[in-house]
Chains A and B, each alone.
Chain A
Amino acid sequence: MRKIIYLLLFMVSALHAQTKMTNAEASLLKEKVKSQAAKTNTISSNFVQYKHLDFLSNDIVTSGNLAFKSPDLVKWEYVKPFVYTVIFKNENLYINDEGKKSDVNLSSSKLFKQLNKLIVNSVKGDMFDEKEFEIAYFKQEVVSEVHFKPTNKKISKYIKAFHIQFNTQGDVVEIKMIEPSDDYTRIVFSNRIINKPLSDAIFAH
């Protein structure tokens, strides 16, 4: 019994390893991320995506590469366990599904345009818009974590919150998109290289 109590106490303290930032710490982080984002012309990175559905025994793990080029070109390329690419470009989504190409125009849907913009912005981490989000800042041992809760009801119907983790340089190391049901998609970046020249050909469909 005593062991269980210790274990529970440990679990509670582990949960609280994340503490709220002071206002000063929060504005420091915000400035750092904003200036880092402003200096970022390109990003190339590997990623691992964990899709968490509460009823599954294991998260669904997919992985691939991300390429970003300023101001708003993003390419998500899944390599494992299937080959699938989606390019966000000029209000269009260009999809290559194992060789089968298609595109989706987002210009007619304000909502999809907004969601699209969110994805592009979250890659850089620069989402500090207090009109659009309720923002909370936390510090952990090494990384910082910021919670962005969309205030727009149409968006919060799809995404309850974005949790973004930043390293000490102010680069995004992890994005977690939480659905209203509390299921989530967690994307962990690795080998993230900033401002490596990326040709437009990478974003060609």
Chain B
Amino acid sequence: MRYLLISLLFLLAGCASYQQRNNFEKQEVSDKAIINPYFSDVTKDYVYKANIAFYDKSFGGLFIVKKIEENHHRIVFTTEMGAKIFDFSFHKDEFKVNYVLDEMNKKILLNILEKDFRVLVRENEKVISKSIKEKSELFETEIVNKRYYYLFNEGVLNRITRANNGKEKVVFLFSKISDATAKNIQILHKNIKLTINLKSIN
């Protein structure tokens, strides 16, 4: 019986929400939407020096993001010498591969990149819940059936986490922020060996 209780307790602890695990306290939701401002200016060309590490392979290149119009972004990755590796369009919930190098044309990989990059360019998300801890606010939302948590420190978006059953799956880190641009962006996968590092060059 005691064992049963203990295992029940463990189970309950295992079910703790992402917010609870990180000691955030739930609050009434007053905010209408979560705003990600980092790729929101149609007049800007966002150009990053990128490094994509996938298991033992590592690709360098230029990561280019352009907002074409509201809810429509283009993301292109080229080598330093200019050869295109992939070219994607995000239009509302739609995803289109305009070009991908044969060697990278793998459905699993494209699915992962689609999910990651969609989060980068989405600007306006509906708040499901809000919690706070000191000067930090954590907003919960859903993007194409996945749970995401947006962490704002003193009003600045520093981190987005995709979590499943309270466990982190993918973490997006934004740093060196000025003028609504994150000069450094990191995308870290927790269950596969994939890391994307972006450093702004313009």
Contacts and interface: CB of A to CB of B under 8 A. Distances in A.
Interface of A: 49, 51, 53, 55-58, 60, 62, 76, 78, 81-82, 84, 86, 95, 97, 102, 158, 177, 179, 181, 183, 185
Nearest to A51: B82
Contact of A185 (B81, B201, B202): B81
B74 A55 contact: yes
B64 A53 contact: yes
B52 interface: no
Contact of B81 (A76, A82, A97, A183): A76
Contacts of B84: 179, 181, 183
B51 A97 contact: yes
> Which secondary structure characterizes the binding site on chain B?
strand
Interface in B42-90: 43-45, 47, 49, 51, 58, 60, 62, 64, 66, 68, 74, 76, 78, 80-84, 87
B45 to A, nearest CB: 5
Given A58-B45, A82-B49, A84-B80, A181 B60 contact: no
The 3 closest A-B pairs by CB, nearest first: A185-B82, A81-B201, A56-B45
Contact of A60 (B60, B62, B68, B74): B62
Interface residues of B, number: 26
Given A81-B201, A82-B201, A181-B99, A55 B66 contact: yes
A97 B82 contact: no
Nearest to B101: A158
Interface in B127-166: none
A76 B80 CA distance: 10
A86 B64 contact: no
A78 to B, nearest CB: 6
